[in-house]
Structure 1
Amino acid sequence: MSYNYIKVQREGAVTVVTIDRPDAYNALNAEAHREMDAALDAYEVDDDQRVAIITGAGNRAFCAGHDLKQQATGGGLDVPENGFGGLTSRAALTKPVIAAVNGIAMGGGFEIALACDIIVAAENAAFALPEPRVGIAALAGGLQRLPRAIGLKQAMGMMLTGRKVAAREGLALGFVNEVTAGNALNVARDWANEILKCSPLSIRATKEAVLRGLAVPVETAMRDQWSYLEMRAMLESADFVEGPKAFAEKRDPQWLGR
């Protein structure tokens, strides 16, 4: 598939999706949403692709959120079924996604980052949910994910004011994993390479169990995890045998993903 507003590169087992509207601070219009959705569809079903990284073109913005100019001219809030950027409502995705935040992440852009499993931020990154300042609300998961990530009071302090949070404060609050003075995408690649050392089935089982477990009591989650689809796949796999065998033989495991 050809794209007009994003770039997709496959680097071995890593898919890098770059939002490519730097003149618009990488804000997403309707077509950019559809392209992001298609790229993530392809990532989700490709067994050879094990980690995805989302970033923005240039060094000013990760994503400024929804294209308000489109809305102002009657374009509305046209987003895919899978949510903002094709990600924020993609509940069944069990493969990891990393956000390489290389500048501002505002509104829906911040919500894309929050929907990722790991956030790497450049020093110049800044985050906000400023929707109330323009008469809307953070309806792409920000209202739900931010309180879970940093606690109710800190989240309310951000959401009820729309204030901007710098990368270092995001790290202190707990929604950023790492801040770098260098290139956020390169650091995200380092995180991806660490994930690739692990069994792909174990990674998928872990993500599924963690996210499903957030909605139920701990005791229920611990009981039910044994029946989860990705957990069963891991427990019944050749990799489940290979991991301990490689450890006993003092060698690197050869993951088959099955």
Structure 2
Amino acid sequence: MRVTDDAGGRGEATGGLGGVRVERAGAVTTVIMNRPKARNAVNGAAALELFTAFEEFDRDDSAAVAVLWGDNGTFCAGADLKALGTPDANPVHRTGPAPMGPSRMTLSKPVIAAISGHAVAGGLELALWCDLRVVEQDAIMGVFCRRWGVPLIDGGTVRLPRLIGHSRAMDLILTGRSIDAEEALAIGLANRVVPHGQSRQRAEELAAELATLPQQCLRADRRSALTQWGLSEADAMDFEFASMSRVAAESLEGAARFAAGAGRHGARDPR
């Protein structure tokens, strides 16, 4: 799936059989799920296309931040259960692409979920895989696969407790109940709540803002925050400190700008 910017800074790749397409505006890549008849449920083809889209995003030096969005008014209804037992079934292997596609990938750059409608079951797991979640005020989230005896195998039992705490996660995992945007914000599942129909725009604006920041330092701090979960406190502190040498040049350049008067009193540095 190849994306080329046009003269106006925008580019688009037409989706394949899985309905995934990619659009590009400057340093922001938007990956779009588009299976309206299935409420953007992910089948095998869609899983592989999502995996490929994010693989190419991570490899592209000119791309800084990605947005994951579901077209047609809903984020993602999870895995396409109608595809089970057919050639269109999701991949179910311990290695390679995950059942939902990218959810085992550890990218070097941030991804923002733009959530409208439903982000449930595997769709919730895709949202959890993202670094930030911009959620429309009437969106619904939940572990709906609980109702059908389908387990969370795309990181849901790992990332949800880390994100919102064990007790709150167990409430959602065991009951399969739905939560609205207000509750999602209160428990830390949503980072921003926005009006209906604005999740993509607001997520892309946030992505563009992140793309203006010094990228080496941003990515190093992001990597440290993700890596620390598997380390002791002492080892995590060592890992954090080790990044200083990798971003030293960028840090010195930023310090010089500050010394010259940029960014005083909390003002954004326009660079």
TM-score, reference length from structure 1: 0.90
Paired with 1:192 and 1:85, the residues of 2 have a C-alpha distance of: 23
Distance in 2 of aligned mates of 1:106 and 1:119: 14
The answer as to whether partners of 1:64 and 1:106 remain within 8 angstroms in 2 is: yes
- 5+ residue gaps, structure 2, are 2-13, 263-268
Match of 2:175 among 156, 161, 169: 161
What is aligned with 1:125?
A: 139
Answer whether contact 1:14 1:51 (CA < 8 A) is retained.
Answer: yes
For residue 184 of structure 1, what is the aligned residue in structure 2? 199
Q: Counterparts of 1:73 and 1:193 in 2: how far apart (Å)?
A: 40
In structure 1, give the amino acid aligned to 2:15.
Y
Residue in 2 aligned with 1:175? 189
User: Partner amino acid for 2:204?
Assistant: R
Asked whether the 8 Å contact 2:36–2:71 carries over to 1, the reply is yes
> Any unmatched runs of 5+ in structure 1?
none
Aligned residue for 1:234?
Answer: 247
The alpha-carbon distance between structure 1 residues 37 and 232, as it changes in their structure 2 partners (threshold 3 A), is farther
Q: Which residue of 2 aligns with 1:197?
A: 212
After TM superposition, give the deviation of residue 73 of structure 1 in Å: 4.5
Specify the alignment match of 1:146 in structure 2: 160
| Equivalent position to 1:35, from 49, 54, 71 | 49
Match of 1:86, SS state, is coil
Shift, 1:11, TM fit: 0.6
Match of 1:135 in 2: 149
Secondary structure (helix, strand or coil) at the match of 2:21 reads strand
CA displacement, residues 153-198 of structure 1 (integer Å, 9 cap, x when unaligned): 1111111111111111100111100111141011112211221231
**CA distance in structure 1 between the partners assigned to 2:242 and 2:51 by the alignment:** 29
CA deviations over 1:71-90 (Å, ceiling 9, x no partner):
15475441582424432111
Q: Report how many aligned residue pairs link the two structures.
A: 248
Report the equivalent of 1:211. Answer: 226
1:63 aligns with one of 76, 83, 103: 76
Match of 2:15 in 1: 3
Amino acid at match of 2:159: R
Moved over 6 A (4+): none
148-157 or 217-226, larger mean C-alpha shift: 217-226
Let me know the Cα RMSD of the aligned residues.
Answer: 1.8
Give the TM-score normalised by the residue count of structure 2: 0.86
